[in-house]
A and B are shown apart, each in its own frame.
Chain A
Amino acid sequence: MGEYIAELNHIHKSFPGVKALDDVSFDLKSGEVLALLGENGAGKSTLVKVLSGVYTKDEGEIKIFGQTVEDLTPKKAQELGIAIIHQELNMCAHLSVAENIFLAREKTHSGILSNREMNKDAAALLARLNIDIDPTTIVGDLAVSKQQMVEIAKALSTNAKILIMDEPTSALTSNEIDDLFKIIRKLKSEGCGIVYISHRLEELQNIVDRVIIMRDGRYITSMDFKDTTMSEIISYMVGREIKEKFPRVTCERGKKIFEVKSLNAGRMVRNVNLELYEGEIVGIAGLMGAGRTETTRAIFGADPKESGQIFVDGREAVIRRPIDAIRAGIVLAPEDRKKDGLCVKLSVEDNIALPNLDLLCSKFGVVDRKKEKTMTDEAVKSLSIKLVSADMDAATLSGGNQQKLVVAKWLARNSRVVMFDEPTRGIDVAAKVEIYSLMNELKKQGIGVLFVSSEMPEIMGISDRILVMCDGKITGEFAAGEATQDLILQYATKFESKYEQKEAI
């Protein structure tokens, strides 16, 4: 481990209305993996965007390899040997893998693109990283996890000495994460400095040397990883100790409120049966692509069904479109809040009013502003959404508060069943606990909660009953007490063997 290769001193950065970075200092040595930690909105992404030239600092000093650098742009940062893998996928979906890797650094011979050479180099690079992708494939045709690997390859192709990874593993499968860690260790031994941002604290122990913790746009502390513990890290991140990671309330199990009978919708939802009782939270566990999201969407009427019956309070509900489900009292808080859950360019108030306009409008279709405001105020208060004003765009809220907003818009109408799809993805520890409490609150009110999650501790900590899905089918069901991670995983990988299928024919 060697000299400092990147130093940021007393950096300030403001956006209209927000102080994103407040006197933050940061350093990175060659040959180390540095975890930059903090809750959502702590300023980690802003900080690395300053370091990679995407944002310009308001004040402060940037030193790269000991040299003070002014006016850093993405291009200049790249030339200096800084590469960043952004949190959101940043690929040109219409271009090929090789074209993306060499974007803005195309190889030419007397002005003509030399595609053959670039394809060859890209193939060599991918092979070196043990990534099995043909460089001429169109990126848009790849699975998300493969796209992420391409993005990593692209960053590495610049021969960067300073590599920044913002949540690199969120879309990867465990094998790919293993490969990524191998790559990281190799780069480390070659003397690269790596900044690693992740919410998945459990991953850190495999690779990290040092942690820097940020909170509310400020630098909090820097520690060697081996001298600290997870709970110490979390308490620095949150600024207080979190007593209960998974708060649990016990309720009497009441009458059956919701039932799905032999639901079929495409390849990912096959003969699904499930029941939901008053006073319980049912979790759906499974691996990515097990058909959990598809199941919630099919129930909600967002995707067409082939067959199946849905009952609410014993009465059959015919659901063809989402409006049918909403009228029947079934609502969905979808996985991708920004894409499916909210109109991010509309205000908080508009978002809450949107599905409830039937309640808010007069006979002639005019919106009753007073009613709208009351509804918003109540929702914001009951979910303790933190906001400056309800007129602000939904996009300006933090991840956790956006998630609450997605739920808030449904609570204004007396729904019977609330389905959550990955409600805590990408939000920080404290906000997670608030979402759990919200689910518990619904449970106490006798509303059925159906909850899809890929995080096992969360599924086991919050649900009263756990359903496990694999390959579009429900393969197992457990009470909260009897489920273990191993057991869930065993059922989550219970693929039908091809042999049995043959026999059936």
Chain B
Amino acid sequence: MENREKQNAWKKLMAIRGMGQVVTVTAGLIVLCIVFAVLNPSFYSGRNVGNLLRQVAPILIIGIGQSYVLITGNIDLSIGSVVGMSCMISATLMTKGMNPWAAMLLTLVLCVGVGVLNGLLVAQCKLPPFIATLGTMTVARGVAQIVNNNYNTDAIGEAAQGYRNLFYYGSTFGLYNTIWIALVLFLGFNFLLSKTRTGRHIYAVGSNIEASKLSGINTDSTTIKVYIVSAFCAGVVGLITSATAGMGTMDAGNMYEMYAVAASVIGGVSTLGGQGLLVGTVVGAAIWGVLQNGLQFAGAPVAMRNIVIGTIVVISVLLDVVIRTGKPKKAKNNTKLVTAQKES
């Protein structure tokens, strides 16, 4: 009886679209963790696990934003630069003596502005998202450079200690605050995506934008919303970066847009739209972090880490393709069986 209930729960879980791949990838994650633990037992020390999770958090946050955009069938290349912009603007404002919390809010508003711009370019001006966000990526990086006259900022100082603790150094109930921020954002955005009308419309737009429009969905506003989410997430990551370094760095968030794509795609979010779960993005980001951290622990040089991680990204997408297109091959084998039976 209990067994059947368990089976039902499992069935229910697997009935969620895309959960299959999440489970597969999670299995991969567990294997990775075991391998690294064997290679170096201190991988599992409490301190390293805490650090690891804190490393993963920004990748997860920015991955959530990118997943939103990918599920609508678009892409946001600007988010790495928005991280840089957020880092530089927040730090510059604080070094100029602005209250850290006011600086934080203003920074987030400006970042969301980039999201609105991206959304308008893609939804209303019908620009291909790749090109539109390539443009805003360059512009946002330029803004990051210009805010402090092409210099990294000085230290943001004593007044911002509370801000630095909130985003990086402090901890609550034994977990670093950065991890809590990622957790809260994940729960909120996961709820929005899976339980609300807006979330349903995001999947619908990615699945078939024409059908969505004809059903009466405001597809333009849906598209703008996802770009706002991704820019907001990037803004938060930028704040974490400035809190971490205690200053603004102009090249902060460099390549983050690609890390975000990687976390999403490893976790099973389809780059063609209509498909993907944020739980997958969590696992994808975790794999990313475990590889970075584990390879470092195992003593692999940076170059080696890049090669391994890049290969893993390609393999995970390849696996997805093989799993999906593998179906017809199976059917064919069945036919061979049928014909073979007949001959006998």
Residues on A facing B (Cβ under 8 Å): 54, 73-75, 78, 84, 86, 90-95, 99, 103-106, 108, 111-113, 136, 138, 264, 266-267, 270, 306, 501, 504-505
Contact = CB atoms under 8 A, between A and B. Distances in A.
Nearest to B272: A94
Contact of A93 (B196, B200, B215, B274): B274
A104 B212 contact: yes
Given A74-B215, A111-B196, A90 B210 contact: yes
A95 B203 contact: yes
A505 B212 CA distance: 51
Given A113-B200, A136-B15, 16 more contacts: A78-B216, A90-B210, A91-B208, A92-B212, A93-B274, A94-B203, A95-B200, A103-B211, A103-B212, A106-B200, A111-B196, A266-B332, A267-B334, A504-B342, A505-B341, A505-B344
Contacts of A75: 216
Contacts of A73: 216
Nearest to A105: B216
B322 interface: no
A78 B17 CA distance: 29
Contacts of A92: 203-204, 207-208, 211-212, 274
A136 B12 CA distance: 12
A73 B336 CA distance: 53
A90 B206 contact: no
B303 interface: no
Contacts of B208: 90-93
A86 B210 CA distance: 11
A294 to B, nearest CB: 12
A106 B197 CA distance: 7
10 contacts: A74-B215, A92-B203, A95-B204, A95-B274, A103-B212, A104-B216, A105-B216, A112-B195, A266-B335, A504-B342
A306 B340 CA distance: 13
A104 B217 CA distance: 5
Contacts of A106: 197, 200
A90 B200 contact: no
Contacts of A95: 200, 203-204, 207, 274
Contact of A74 (B204, B213, B338): B213
Nearest to B213: A74
B275 interface: yes
Contacts of B213: 74
Contacts of B125: none
Most chain-A Cβ atoms within 10 A of its Cβ — which of B204, B206, B216, B341?
B216
Nearest to A304: B332
A266 B338 CA distance: 11
Most chain-A Cβ atoms within 10 A of its Cβ — which of B207, B211, B342?
B211
B197 A108 contact: yes
A136 B216 CA distance: 22
Interface of B: 15, 17, 195-197, 199-201, 203-204, 206-208, 210-217, 274-275, 331-332, 334-336, 338-339, 341-342, 344
A78 B203 CA distance: 21
B190 to A, nearest CB: 13
B215 A103 contact: yes
A113 B203 CA distance: 14
Contacts of B342: 501, 504-505
A164 to B, nearest CB: 12
A86 B196 CA distance: 27
B200 A99 contact: yes
A74 B17 CA distance: 29
A75 to B, nearest CB: 4
Nearest to B274: A94
Nearest to B18: A94
Contacts of B335: 266-267
B215 A104 contact: yes
- 4 closest Cβ contacts across the A-B interface? A92-B207, A94-B274, A75-B216, A90-B211
B206 A94 contact: yes
Contacts of B196: 108, 111-113
Given A264-B339, A267-B334, A501-B342, A103 B204 contact: yes
Nearest to A267: B335
Contacts of A86: 214
A78 B217 CA distance: 12
A92 B204 CA distance: 6
Contacts of A74: 213-216
A14 B207 CA distance: 30
Contacts of B210: 90
Nearest to A77: B216
Nearest to B207: A92
B334 A54 contact: no
Contacts of B217: 103-104
B339 A93 contact: no
B3 to A, nearest CB: 24
A113 B195 contact: yes
Contacts of B334: 267
B40 to A, nearest CB: 42
B280 to A, nearest CB: 15
B203 to A, nearest CB: 6
Given A267-B334, A270-B339, A505-B341, A93 B207 contact: yes
Nearest to B343: A504
A137 to B, nearest CB: 11
Most chain-B Cβ atoms within 10 A of its Cβ — which of A99, A103, A138, A264?
A103
B213 to A, nearest CB: 7
Contact of B197 (A78, A113, A136): A113
Contacts of A90: 208, 210-211, 214-215
A12 to B, nearest CB: 23
Nearest to A92: B207
B338 to A, nearest CB: 8
A74 B213 CA distance: 8
Nearest to A113: B195
B216 A94 contact: no
B126 to A, nearest CB: 15
A54 B207 contact: no
A138 B274 CA distance: 12
Nearest to A138: B17
Given A108-B197, A113-B195, A94 B214 contact: no
A13 B339 CA distance: 57
B195 to A, nearest CB: 5
B270 to A, nearest CB: 8
A500 to B, nearest CB: 10
Nearest to A151: B211
Nearest to B273: A94
A266 B210 CA distance: 34
A171 to B, nearest CB: 16
Contacts of A108: 196-197
A51 to B, nearest CB: 13
A72 B202 CA distance: 24
A439 B126 CA distance: 43
Contacts of B341: 501, 504-505
A82 B301 CA distance: 65
B169 to A, nearest CB: 36
A75 B221 CA distance: 15
A291 to B, nearest CB: 12
Given A74-B213, A267-B331, A104 B203 contact: no
A93 B213 CA distance: 15
